[in-house]
Structure 1
Amino acid sequence: MTDDEIAASLLSQVTAIAGQITGRMQEGLERLDLTGPTANLLWVLDPEGEPQSLRKLATLLHCDPSNITQLSAQLEERGLAERRPHPRDGRVRTLVLTAEGRQIRQRLLVTVARRSPFADHSDNERRLLQTLLAKALEGP
């Protein structure tokens, strides 16, 4: 196989895995009463990390800030998150998980781990894949 064929095969495999993840997650998301986009937003809201601005969240999720505004409103309506001023810059709005939001996020993480295409792989295999994917995401 040439380098170009290997690269094309890798991209095909990653795309197929992304599709599998979406399919496997659907039932679990429905049980948590989440849509894919709201689950993605919950996913990136690290309860231990620094509060992220709505603009930064849009960047992380590769979407328009108006989408984050809409998703934030949905999470707020459910009592899972609150929009608050940034602790160091009150002009910036952040999204912070509530106690219930932290619980739902934890259940989401468990659901994802159990339904992952990598769930049956060994710890060493998952660590190796994690390292390789992190390197790929860093870019050249």
Structure 2
Amino acid sequence: MAVDEIAASLLHQVTTIAGQVTGRMQEGLERLDLTGPTANLLWVLNPEDDPQSLRRLATLLHCDPSNISLLSAQLEERGLAERHPHPRDRRVRTLVLTPEGRKVRERLLTVVAQRSPFADLDGEEQRLLQSLLAKALNGPQ
């Protein structure tokens, strides 16, 4: 197989997997009463990390900061997150999970793990794939 054919095949596989992820996650998200965008925001709010500014969250999710404001409000309405001033710069707003938000995030991660197209890969295969994808994502832009 020529290099161009391999690249095209890889892109096809990645987009197919992305579609499978979306489809497989939908039922789980509905059970958690989450939309795709609110689930994505909940996902990146790792309680072990330092609080992220709303602007940084927008960058991580590749969306406009106004979208993060709307999604933040939706999570706040459900009692899953709260906006707080950043600990080092009080002018900057952050989004922090509530205890209930942590529980829902944990259930979300469980749903993702169970329904992932990668669930049938063993631990070593998952680590290898993770490493290769990280290399591809951090490569030349």
**TM-score band, normalised by the shorter chain?**
over 0.9
Specify the alignment match of 2:120 in structure 1.
Answer: 120
1:77 equivalent to 2:100? Answer: no
Instruction: Identify unmatched segments of 5+ residues in structure 1.
Output: none
Confirm whether residue 90 of structure 1 aligns to residue 90 of structure 2. Answer: yes
Displacement of 1:120 in angstroms is: 1.1
Identity within the alignment, %: 81
Structural RMSD (CA): 0.5
* Runs of 4 or more above 6 Å deviation: none
What is the CA–CA distance in structure 2 between the aligned matches of 1:90 and 1:114, rounded to whole Å? 39
Q: Does 1:58 align with 2:33?
A: no
Looking at structure 2, the residues matched to 8 and 121 of structure 1 have their Cα atoms a distance apart, in angstroms, of: 23
Gaps in structure 2 of 5+ consecutive residues: none
Normalised by the size of structure 1, how large is the TM-score? 0.99
- Counterpart residue identity of residue 3, structure 1: V
User: What SS class does the counterpart of residue 82 from structure 2 fall into?
Assistant: strand
Deviation at 1:12, TM superposition (A): 0.6
C-alpha distance in structure 2 between counterparts of 1:57 and 1:3, whole Å: 36
Query: How many angstroms does 1:72 deviate by?
Result: 0.1
User: Any residues of structure 2 matched to 1:39-50 within 5 Å, and which?
Assistant: 39-50=39-50
CA distance in 2 between partners of 1:45 and 1:137 (Å): 20
Residue identity matched to 1:63: C
SS at match of 1:91: coil
The one-letter amino acid of 2:124's match is N
| Matched AA of 1:107 | R
Query: For residue 36 of structure 2, what is the aligned residue in structure 1?
Result: 36
Aligned length: 140
Kindly provide the amino acid, as one letter, of the partner of residue 63 in structure 2: C
Counterpart AA for 2:19: G
State how far apart, in whole Å, the 1-side matches of 2:76 and 2:123 are: 36
Could you say what secondary structure the match of 1:49 adopts? coil
Distance in 2 of aligned mates of 1:121 and 1:49: 28
Moved more, 105-114 or 2-11: 2-11
Q: Cα deviation per residue 1:13-51 (whole Å; 9 max; x = unaligned)? A: 000000000000000000000000000000000101000
Partner Cα distance (1:82, 1:68) in 2: 13
- TM-score by length of structure 2 reads 0.98
